[in-house]
Amino acid sequence: MFMEQKKMVPPDGGWGWMVVLGVSLVNLCTRSIEQSFGLLFGDLLDEMGVKTTGSAMIMSALDALINFSGLLVGPLIRAFSYRKVSLAGAFLCSLGLITTFPANNMGHILITYSIINGLGVGLASSATFVALNNYFVKKRGQAVGLSLAGTAFGMMVMPQAVKLLLDAYSFRGAILVLGAFALNGVVGSCLLQPANWHYVEEQKEVEDGAPHKEMETIKETDDEEGDIFEDQKLLSPKLNSEVLVIETLEDLGKQSTLMRKGTFPRNFSTLSFVGTRKRKVSMESVMSSYSRLDFTGSSLQLHLETNHLPVDKPPEGALRRNMSYPGVQPKRRRVIVPSPALEMKPPKKNNLWQKIVEFMDFDLLKDPIYLNLVFGLSMFYVAEQNFKMVTPFFFKSIGYDKQDVATFLSVQAATDILARLILPPICDRLTISKRTLFMTGIFVLGICRSVLAMQTEKKWILVWLMVCGFFRGSALINFAICISEYSTLEKLPAAFGLHNVGKGLFVVALGPVLGIIRDSTESFPMCLHSQTFLIMLCCAAWSLEYSIRYLKSRKKENEPPPVS
């Protein structure tokens, strides 16, 4: 008896929650400093005479390295593992921050903070996201939301910590302490064990009674006549010494004249009969119809010539599947159908570019839906990164000191964390796609940020920051899942990596433009409104795609069925 091999699947829990803890720790140590960039580097950049455009260039270069590292993520994870890639990323992030402490010009900051630190953050964040998707399927939203809570918690605590460090040690001492803190990301990376160490057996519900054996002998009786599938006969030529040449299936059907007779034991694969008693005859191809034939234990041979086979109707002698007749052995009867010789063509060799495309999974770039997905996510990402950089300068421009700025950033991060803790279990139970939930969240977020740009009173700034923080958290819990929801697990590292590259390209192209808008208009509110415009471009592009797909589906439904 053949034993069915158990399918192993991700645990959706178990050690996966330790992985969530590890990813959260990596995010806390490597990404929480980003929102405090203006607070940490503000005085140093003022001493250097660097304006908003220069700050935008530093942040754009940082984001570019974070995202362009996506080109390396897929091959590196395939060659090593997501744990080793995350370890390397956490170490590079710490190295970049530590080597920034003697900086006295913009070029030094670009090399150490933007390039080395950015490369480390990109490798660590991509590797940890792939790790989560290998451990979770049904609870993926909860896992990603909890892991991102580490980043949000860091964004809430980090502004206060940066202010205290600046007061105690100035910029150079503060950046050294932050670099040492980032090294704790190595500890979180150590928790990212290979997922196949913790796979569990897939649980299947058995609906129709006891499980069936792989093979069992069924005695045929007269009562079995009712079990014959519709429009099917047995193939059994007369047993004599003639040689019959069959050229078409019609000839083959004419020879199928032996009536079924009881008393012969037959072996059936009962797996074919689990679930229903009747089955449609597939006519997708002639060979698929004849794949049902099993002549185990018989000397009967068929050679089919496909160019004589009808494809518009089932053959007269349709065959029953998985049967053998040990009691009937044709002795001198042979059935021969002439068939042409098979021509074996040598496989085509891929050139260098085709090998690169296959290795890097560049075929994803042929998918218009994937490209539109990357476009929308990139638009939001540019707006989000620019908002984190500009807001400290905006609050400073309307008369608030470092303590107030730190309080504002912490309040926004607090509601961000609240959304990441509350919403993921709810979103996982909804039938709405994560992409639609993300688009709804950023639409409201863009409007709220434009309203925030018009506020000057402290109480209203705090109110709108709390609202913005909540909707920011609701959007970011679904940001990366939009990619994993669309991609298969095998393509996920490449899909996420190319998505990061797309974000990097848009950051390089549009990040400085937002800085130029601010410097030319000398208006921070105008810069914030420009970020909202980018968010609305994402919503418009995705809404257009949804409309096109909806119209195509309606058109397909209204098409008359083909006449048979």
What local confidence, expressed as pLDDT, does residue 536 receive? 96
Distance CA(359)–CA(280), nearest Å, equals: 41
What local confidence, expressed as pLDDT, does residue 274 receive? 42
pLDDT in tens, 271-296: 444 444 444 444 444 344 434 434 34
pLDDT at 165 over 50: yes
Ranges 157-161, 303-307, 411-415: which has the least confidence: 303-307
Identify the CA nearest to 327 among candidates 242, 240, 255, 266.
Answer: 266
Identify the CA nearest to 25 among candidates 183, 255, 222.
Answer: 183
Q: State the pLDDT confidence band at 363, using cuts at 50, 70 and 90.
A: confident
What local confidence, expressed as pLDDT, does residue 466 receive? 94
CB atoms within 10 A of CB 251: 16
The angle at the Cα of 135, spanning 130 to 137, to the nearest 5 degrees, equals 95
Mean pLDDT over 342-371 rounds to: 71
Mean pLDDT of the chain: 74
CB distance 106 to 58 below 8 Å? yes
Mean pLDDT over 4-31 rounds to: 82
Ranges 203-212, 223-232, 535-544: which has the least confidence: 223-232
What local confidence, expressed as pLDDT, does residue 305 receive? 41
Cα dihedral 173, 384, 485, 494, rounded to 10, equals: -60
Q: What is the CA radius of gyration of the chain?
A: 33
CB distance 437 to 427 below 8 Å? yes
Domains, the chain, with CATH or none: 8-201+361-549 (1.20.1250.20), 208-339 (no CATH)
What local confidence, expressed as pLDDT, does residue 163 receive? 85
Mean pLDDT over 151-177 rounds to: 85
Mean pLDDT over 235-249 rounds to: 45
What local confidence, expressed as pLDDT, does residue 529 receive? 93
What local confidence, expressed as pLDDT, does residue 138 receive? 79
What local confidence, expressed as pLDDT, does residue 465 receive? 93
What local confidence, expressed as pLDDT, does residue 228 receive? 41
What local confidence, expressed as pLDDT, does residue 377 receive? 93
Distance CA(138)–CA(144), nearest Å, equals: 12
What local confidence, expressed as pLDDT, does residue 117 receive? 92
Mean pLDDT over 514-523 rounds to: 84
Output 455-461 pairs: Cβ under 8 A, ≥24 positions apart.
Answer: 456/398, 458/400, 458/404, 461/395, 461/408
CB distance 528 to 394 below 8 Å? yes
Question: Of 114-118, 345-349, 352-356, 500-504, where does the model show the most confidence?
Answer: 114-118
CB distance 411 to 462 below 8 Å? yes
Q: State the pLDDT confidence band at 396, using cuts at 50, 70 and 90.
A: confident
Q: How far is CA 19 from CA 3, 24, 147, 501, in A?
A: 34, 8, 9, 26
CB distance 130 to 492 below 8 Å? yes
Distance CA(150)–CA(153), nearest Å, equals: 5
Tokens standing for residue 19: 């992985």
Identify the CA nearest to 82 among candidates 2, 242, 197, 182.
Answer: 197
pLDDT in tens, 436-455: 999 999 999 999 999 999 99
